[in-house]
Every structure is written in C-alpha cells, then in structure tokens.
Chains A and B, each alone.
Chain A
Amino acid sequence: MSGPALSVEQRLQRLEDEAAIRHIVIAYAAALDPRDPDAYVALFAQDAEWVNGGMVRKGKEEIRALVAGLFPTRPDDFVNLETFEISFHPRIELDGDRATMRSGHLLFRRGPGGNPVPVLFGRYEDEFIREDGAWKILRRVDLPTIPTAEEYGPVIRARQKIQEQHIRGARS
C-alpha cells in the first residue's frame, strides 16, 4: 500500500535530506581518517550520544574527550598511514526533522609489509536531528560484530583507559 502522494517539493526535500545524511557518513570517515577532533565533534548535535557497549558519552565535550584520547597527538601535516574505515549500506529512514540509519563499517589497519588488513566489522545504529537547518548525529550506537564486543574487549579496554583520563580532564 503506498502512502499519500508527495509534492515535487517534498520529494526533492526527501532526496536532499538523504543526500545530506549520506554525506555525514562520508564526513565521519573523513574526520576519523586524518584524526581531526574538531571535524568529528562538529558532526554531532548539541545533546548527542555516542555509545559502544557500556561506554556512553553524552554531549559534545564528552565526545571531544573521547576522540582526543583516540587522536592523542597529530602534526598539522598528518597523513594516516595506519588505519582507515569503510562505511557502507546506509539504510536511511526520514521522519520530518528526525531520521534513523543503519549501516555497516569495516576497519582496516596497516599489516606487515604495508598491506591493508581488515580487523573489525561492525554496525552503526544512528539517530539524526535537523538542528539549526543542518543534519547532525543525535545518537550513534557502534556495535562491533566481527570480532564480537567480547573478543574486541581487550583492545577497547586498553583504549578506554586512555580515554577516561581525557574525560576526567574535560570534566574537571
């Protein structure tokens, strides 16, 4: 059963909204890749949440502290030769000024000899909000899948220790 017929303006707006949200996926990877915390945080809404298992970060300052821990030092001419992420299959559902999206992502790391090696497949479950006319991430839930969260746990915990130090610094 089809819904009510949309006007040309509504159909165009829907395509533009989907394009804008797909662009967030690109910009997200583009911020991770050069380890740019400002570009990363700018993608999130004022009241955004970032969730990965028991790790929850609320608001831009906590999210900034999270990525500051991930991106400890970065020279101006930094080129990431160690990691990159592929995001794919964005399934976007629009609802006015809100949207949801499910997608997959694959993290690669530099392997012996320089070959890229896939090390983690996961799923994102996202909520978006149109804030001051621009789409922003309201909630990003990262679900590590291959390896599982339990398998990936030791890696995450080591990283978390560093991140907690930055969170404490941001809160004090």
Chain B
Amino acid sequence: MSRAALLLAALAAAALPAPALAQKPRLSVEQRLQRLEDESAIRNIFIAYAAALDQRNPDAYVALFAKEGQWINGSIVRKGPEEIRVLVAGMFRNTPPGFVNAESFELTFHPDIKVEGDHATARSEHVLFRRHADGSGMPQAVLFGRYEDAFIREDGAWKILKRIDYPTMPTPEEWGRIMRTRQQAQQQAPAQ
C-alpha cells in the first residue's frame, strides 16, 4: 500500500467515532424491543418467585420452572417439576386457604440479566427476613444469598431452567444448622 493510501486509510479510521470501530452489529428496532421485553419478563420471574414463596404457593412456585428445571442448593439437587414440587410442599406444608404470611418475606435485588436468543442467565442477590427472634414483631434479616440462574424460553414463555442458591451470610454450614433446628421444631409441632 502506498504512503498516500496508508494516510487515507488512517484518516478514514480517525474519522470514525471510537465506538463504531468496536461496535456490535446494529440491532433492528424489533430486536432491541425484544431484548427489553425479554429482560422485563425475566425480572418478572424474580417478582413471581418471591410472591410464590411469600404466599407459600407450591403451584405458583413450580409453574416458574421449565420442564427440565433444576433447583440446587449445595448438595441438594432437585430435577424436574415433580421433585421441585415435593421440595416446596415440604417447606409449605400446613398452609391454610387465604394464608397471609406474617412470618417471613424475601427481598430479591440487583438482577444482572444476559439474554442470548431463547436462553438467558442472571445473577442476583436476596435477603430473607423473618419475624424477629426477640419477640418484638419487627422484621429481622436472617439470610443473605446469591442466585445464579439459567432461563429458557419454553412454549413462548421464559422459565427457570436452573436455579443455584448460594447462602452467603450465614454460610451454608451455619445455615444448615439453623435449618435442621427449624425442621426438628416443625416436625414436633402438631399439624394445623
């Protein structure tokens, strides 16, 4: 290439705005809108998940998972809607009709969603609050954890393909002791 051609090429490159050099292929309006809609739909799964937990509603909870959905917390792995239903049915037992949860709620936040066609991933955080152990009735944060999720668009709707729950504060070891104590107390309590 001649010196003049090199100079022209350099000038042409310099004339381009910096982002244009590294820019991804320009998306159509339809594609950009679809991406926003997909992210919105996945954010709604977080909301629906917290609502299902809050209401202790196994049907609503299981409906959020894909046919091949997995739920993982440490060595506890549940595969498919039926195994997941058994898991939550154990957690949500003795829930009367019209139940209002005055014991606990979960706050989910910072969903970092990445959509890739009909698949997506998300990292998020959550805090579980329970009625305070001191008897005051105030909410007390009892667990902070992280979710690492995979989603799939199944029959046109986004579903959880894999949810990994990482208890962080307390650690899984500390939380395991708390859960075992609580389960023992529940097993000893008379059925309502």
With beta carbons under 8 angstroms apart, the residue of A9, A23, A79, A115 that contacts B170 is A115
Min CB distance, B23 to chain A, in Å?
A: 7
Knowing A81-B168, A114-B174, A133-B18, say if A30 contacts B110 (CB, 8 Å). yes
Q: Are A81 and B169 in contact (CB under 8 A)?
A: yes
Total A-B contacts with CB atoms under 8 angstroms apart? 75
Q: Are B112 and A23 in contact (CB under 8 A)?
A: yes
With beta carbons under 8 angstroms apart, the residue of A9, A19, A84, A116 that contacts B39 is A19
Knowing A108-B144, A114-B169, A116-B141, say if A84 contacts B29 (CB, 8 Å). no
Cα–Cα, bound, A87→B111 (Å): 11
A8 within 8 A of B: yes
> Can you name the residue of chain A whose Cβ is closest to the Cβ of B141?
A116
With beta carbons under 8 angstroms apart, the residue of B33, B107, B171 that contacts A86 is B107
> Can you name the residue of chain B whose Cβ is closest to the Cβ of A130?
B19
Cα–Cα, bound, A79→B168 (Å): 9
Q: Within A112-159, which residues are at the interface with B (CB < 8 Å)? A: 113-118, 132-134
A12 within 8 A of B: yes
> Can you name the residue of chain B whose Cβ is closest to the Cβ of A25?
B110
- B-side contacts of A97, CB under 8 Å: none
Q: Are B140 and A16 in contact (CB under 8 A)?
A: no
Chain A, interface size: which category? 20 to 34
> Can you name the residue of chain A whose Cβ is closest to the Cβ of B109?
A86
Min CB distance, B138 to chain A, in Å?
A: 12
With beta carbons under 8 angstroms apart, the residue of B23, B111, B127, B142 that contacts A133 is B23
With beta carbons under 8 angstroms apart, the residue of B19, B29, B141, B171 that contacts A117 is B141
Interface residues of B (CB under 8 A from A): 17-19, 23, 29, 32-33, 36, 39, 107, 109-112, 123, 125, 127, 140-144, 168-171, 174-175
Interface residues of A (CB under 8 A from B): 8-9, 12, 15-16, 19, 23, 25-27, 29-30, 33, 79-82, 84, 86-88, 108, 110, 113-118, 132-134
The 7 closest A-B pairs by CB, nearest first: A114-B170, A133-B19, A116-B144, A114-B174, A116-B141, A26-B110, A132-B18
